Structure 1
Amino acid sequence: MVQCSLLKKLAKILSQARQEPIELSSGIINQGAGSQTRQLIGHTGKGQLRFLLKTTCIEKQPMLVAEANNLRQLKQTSTIRVPEVIWCGEASNEAVLLVEWLDFQSAGNWQQLAKKITELHRYPVANDTSQQPAYGWADDNYLGENLQKNGFKTRWCDFFAEQRIGVQLEQAARNNFVLGSVNLLIDQVRKKLSDHQPDISLVHGDFWSGNVGFCHKSPVIYDPACYYGDRETDFAMASLFGGFSPQFFSCCQQDWPLPAGWENRRVIYNLYHLLNHLNLFGSHWEADVHKALQQLLATTESA
């Protein structure tokens, strides 16, 4: 259960924000990705309110700060719904993120999700004054518990080879996984993507079915790892773990068709997520990574 001191601190913050007295109670929903997630029940004179609370140790506070910042920046695009950030900070020796509670339904409008994701991908980088007109993001963020480097690059092949595949390969080497020459594999990725300079799109970054929901049949995305990159990376991950309706992909293709060669690039883009899983969860993912590396080398040789 949540510490009484934390509940009192959050109740005070909410009472001040809402300008009405509020008392809080809680229960644990799940634990994972370095944090605990709980539902908070707010008791007021007018009834009950619900909130979603994430907590983790102080050392991991940058994870929650990055998540809060990404949610705020996605909300500013006015493209697709995200949970509203209510408060993020430190309380009772814990890192805390408090967001609105959303009641998700088991079914939703996949055509609407396709439309909204396309709007997100079309969001002009020029509208975001905190960013540069290049591939990357103004701040590093997190993919699970792993730091995601986002230094800006003007060439997509350099960004993905160095900031995505290279960083994960170096971490895998430190974790004693033998995957081959890091520099050679980085060069192979750069070579494979060298003739691909996609439109700069705002991407979710961790776009699997567990980070998508439907509230009153409208699509919602959450747990983002945003950056400006190739929109194909979102579709690649969406296809990696399943859970998306075929209607979603067909509607996306109809709204904004993916360019030729996307199927080969999907191998590279999903290698990033497989490497991340290897570094997060260990050897269970090693066979999948080796298979993806073999596919990468095969498609590079045939290119």
Structure 2
Amino acid sequence: MKKYIADCIRMVGDETGIKQTVRLSGGEINDVYYCLTGVRPYLVKLNSRVSGSFFDAERDGLNELRTAGKVNVPAVYGIYENGGDVRGLVLEWISGEKSAGIMEKLGRAVAKLHQVKETHFGYQRDTYIGEMLQTNGWYQDWRQYFSENRLVPQINGAIAKQLLPKSRRSGLEYIIENLERWVPGDVSPALLHGDLWAGNWLTNAEGEPCFIDPSVFYGHHEMELAYTELFGGFSERFYGAYKEVQPLAKEYCERKPLYQLFYLLVHLNVFGEKYGTMIDEVIAGYVPKK
């Protein structure tokens, strides 16, 4: 991989030479490296499995968040293509210490991001969550977008992988057919990070939250907040600060598991049946008992 890292650095115009390269842990999708040159430190991502649009989508998502002007993201220095299988993305190296008050800053940042509005739901290009392609496009109806571009593709993926026993599949079909009972139709399209779990934000050198690995789209802001509650990692201070900027509707708790269902289906398709029980519990909360 050293050759590809060196090619990536030259591609962004840095000819000062590499002084240090360290492979970083936690890169489940990409091979991720810290790279120090005579100019600056970089984060370099390499991948030989993904399509040519994979890093394009990440770059465009980061730029969408940056353009909104509400949150910090790493600078994108360039995308590497070698004409073969290996692709790369060169980013600003983000390094800072999480300090007192960071959760409040994070909560306010996410809430301010959700105040960035569009006229339609969706996004201008397809994106990825993990390595899975997500189709987008623009929709006037939130329920239609949530169903057709989020829930149904994951359900179809789980069917193909034989991860939906009969009762689970019928329960999901019932939810799809009755979304209007729980999902509001009068919401405004808000800019979402799209994959906001505890591992997708860092602290920069100024002590401010910095968002990474987005899967952006414009949707109902409650969907993002529901995901932050699914696997933890966000404190009560985060939620208190969020609500100061972006109050939540009283119906949020009723539909929260429904929004979490999408992310549980993603995890089912990636990691398998160990997430099946959680999905069954969500279904039981919405489907009448026979």
Matched, 1:120 2:113: yes
Structure 1, residues 21-72: CA drift from partner, whole Å, max 9, x if none?
3335422102544211111111x2xxx6211111111543322221111011
Match of 1:30 in 2: 25
Counterpart pick for 1:153 among 135, 139, 142 = 139
Q: TM-score when scaled to structure 2?
A: 0.90
Matched, 1:72 2:60: no
**Partner amino acid, structure 1, of 2:131:** E
What is the CA-CA distance between 1:208 and the residue it aligns to? 1.1
Structure 1, residues 107-148: CA drift from partner, whole Å, max 9, x if none?
3522222222222111132xxxxxxx2110111111111122
SS at match of 1:105: coil
* Cα contact 1:58–1:90 (8 A) shared by 2: no
**Partner amino acid, structure 2, of 1:138:** Q
What is the CA-CA distance between 1:94 and the residue it aligns to? 0.8
Structure 2 unaligned runs (5+)?
none
SS at match of 2:195: coil
**Partner amino acid, structure 1, of 2:202:** G
Matched, 1:175 2:161: yes
Counterpart CA distance in 1 for 2:54 and 2:281 is: 30
* Cα contact 2:191–2:219 (8 A) shared by 1: yes
Matched, 1:98 2:90: yes
Counterpart CA distance in 2 for 1:58 and 1:278 is: 21
Counterpart CA distance in 1 for 2:137 and 2:7 is: 36
- Higher mean alpha-carbon deviation, 91-100 vs 102-111, is at 102-111
Counterpart pick for 1:54 among 35, 45, 58 = 45
What is the CA-CA distance between 1:190 and the residue it aligns to? 4.0
Match of 2:186 in 1: 197
* Cα contact 1:267–1:296 (8 A) shared by 2: no
Match of 2:197 in 1: 208
Match of 2:287 in 1: 297
SS at match of 2:178: helix
* Cα contact 1:7–1:24 (8 A) shared by 2: no
Structure 1, residues 166-195: CA drift from partner, whole Å, max 9, x if none?
1111111111022223543311334421x4
Counterpart CA distance in 2 for 1:190 and 1:149 is: 22
Higher relative contact order at CA 8 Å, sep ≥6: structure 1 or structure 2? 2
Structure 1 unaligned runs (5+)?
126-132
**Partner amino acid, structure 1, of 2:2:** Q
**Partner amino acid, structure 1, of 2:232:** G
Match of 2:218 in 1: 228
Counterpart CA distance in 1 for 2:9 and 2:121 is: 40
Match of 1:267 in 2: 257
Counterpart CA distance in 1 for 2:203 and 2:26 is: 22
- Higher mean alpha-carbon deviation, 242-251 vs 184-193, is at 184-193
Task: Give the length in aligned residue pairs.
Answer: 282
* Cα contact 2:202–2:209 (8 A) shared by 1: yes
Counterpart CA distance in 2 for 1:58 and 1:144 is: 12
Taking only the aligned residue pairs, the percentage that are identical comes to: 24
